[in-house]
Amino acid sequence: MSVELLSPAGNFEKLKAAINFGADAVYFSGKDFGLRAKAGNFSLYEMEEALKYLHERGKKGYVTVNIYARNYDFEELKRYLHQLNEIKLDGIIISDLGVLKLIKDEKIDLPVHISTQANTTNYYAVNMWKKLGASRVVLARELSKSEIEYICKNCDMEIEVFVHGAMCISHSGRCVLSNYMTGRDANRGECTHPCRWNYYLMEETREGEYFPIFEDERGTYIYNSKDLCLLKYVKELMDMGVHSLKIEGRMKSVMYVSVVTGVYRKVIDDLKNGKEPDYDYLMNLLMSVSNREYTTGFYLGNADRDSMNYKTSSYVRNTDFLGVVNNYKDGKLFFDSRGKILANEALSILNRNMKEETIVFDKIFDVDGNLVEFTKPNKEYYILTDKAFGSGSIIRRYKV
């Protein structure tokens, strides 16, 4: 019942957070040819450093090269693929057949993972990808439980499934709304997320008359999917033989990556140890990070109206991310600040064992030992406490 937990890494800090909270592997992008142009992304040097960091800890790193390439991309792609080959990645995630052919023609010696962008929905396609040289397929998000299970039974290769995160209205991601409406191509990493905008309907013979689907002065969010969450179905996926459980979110915060990774790690470990996970507690933790409410998507069958959020395209945010613990020594808790913290307020600190404690302190010091009234972002401070927290623990404030 072994399974890989695969987390997003938009930058090096998020990569470290994912590993700290239990990811077995991370996926990230270089500066080109990925599908998250606004994520921090990695230079070639940063990729090498990331892989060194991962491999020293027995973890893996996969790089996305999953754009749908145009003719003018291939010369630069050829150079880039050879650079990736030299740094010995654990896998390269692609979606374009032309890119796969280039990999084979150039004798790039890297495991090839087929992205969810390829919309693989059946076992014939999975087996064909294997025949073409792929080692793993990330299945389309549109598949139900029974379809995933059937593919696992009829294919002899690694299967990866998205279990958590935002979903595109074209659920496996091949959407043209952004390109049409803003000239920015979602299939080249530049999506402006028009599926999250508000819309009205207009009947063709009544030009200028706009009708909301429901009465709401903000319009109606007819394309706005809730976030995917398959937390309670992890055991089923493990029993099917799914090799990797994937979390979406390269553009999300360190807190998001830490909490979501930690929650799924806890479920996987509890199941492996024959223990029933505390799903209510863990779901509350998932609700504490940014989300658009949750849905099981297509996993239990065709998605219905409850899979969409018709009220707002905004995230639900129940906590403020305030800092990350650096270390604890001699009664001093050192941390990097991410926001304004005042003395005498109650803060929650989440350890990587997913236990959260509340602490109250009356003084804050900078690293030189000077007393300060409040913290500023991106600076190091410490507080005095008899409670020890591990490096990487998340400091946050719950909103009333």
Q: Which of 106, 93, 81 has its CA nearest to residue 25?
A: 93
Pick the CATH number of 4-173+224-307 from 2.60.40.420, 3.20.20.70, 3.40.50.1360, 3.60.40.10: 3.20.20.70
Check residue 126 and give its pLDDT.
98
Q: Is the dihedral of CA 119, 185, 228, 90 positive or negative?
A: positive
Q: How far apart are CA 284 and CA 81, in angstroms?
A: 42
Check residue 23 and give its pLDDT.
99
DSSP 313: S
Which tokens is 283 given?
Answer: 């779901």
pTM (2 decimals)? 0.85
Domain 319-398 has CATH 1.10.533.10: no
What contacts 166, CB < 8 A, 6 or more positions away?
Answer: 225, 227, 228, 248, 249, 292
Check residue 274 and give its pLDDT.
97
Q: How far apart are CA 184 and CA 346, in angstroms?
A: 44
Which pairing describes strands 136-138 and 158-165: parallel, antiparallel, or unpaired? Answer: parallel
How buried is residue 263: exposed, middle or buried, by Cβ count under 10 Å (0-12/13-18/19+)?
buried
The neighbouring-strand residues paired with 161 are 245
How buried is residue 189: exposed, middle or buried, by Cβ count under 10 Å (0-12/13-18/19+)?
buried
What contacts 109, CB < 8 A, 6 or more positions away?
Answer: 85
Instruction: List the domain boundaries for the chain.
Output: 4-173+224-307, 319-398
Q: Which of 251, 229, 348, 216 has its CA nearest to residue 27?
A: 251
**Mean pLDDT per 10-residue section of the chain, whose length is 400 residues:** 93 96 96 61 93 98 93 94 95 97 97 95 97 97 95 98 82 55 61 65 71 47 76 98 96 95 98 98 95 89 58 69 96 96 93 95 95 96 95 93
Please state, as a whole number, how many other Cβ atoms lie within 10 Å of the Cβ of residue 91: 20
Check residue 124 and give its pLDDT.
98
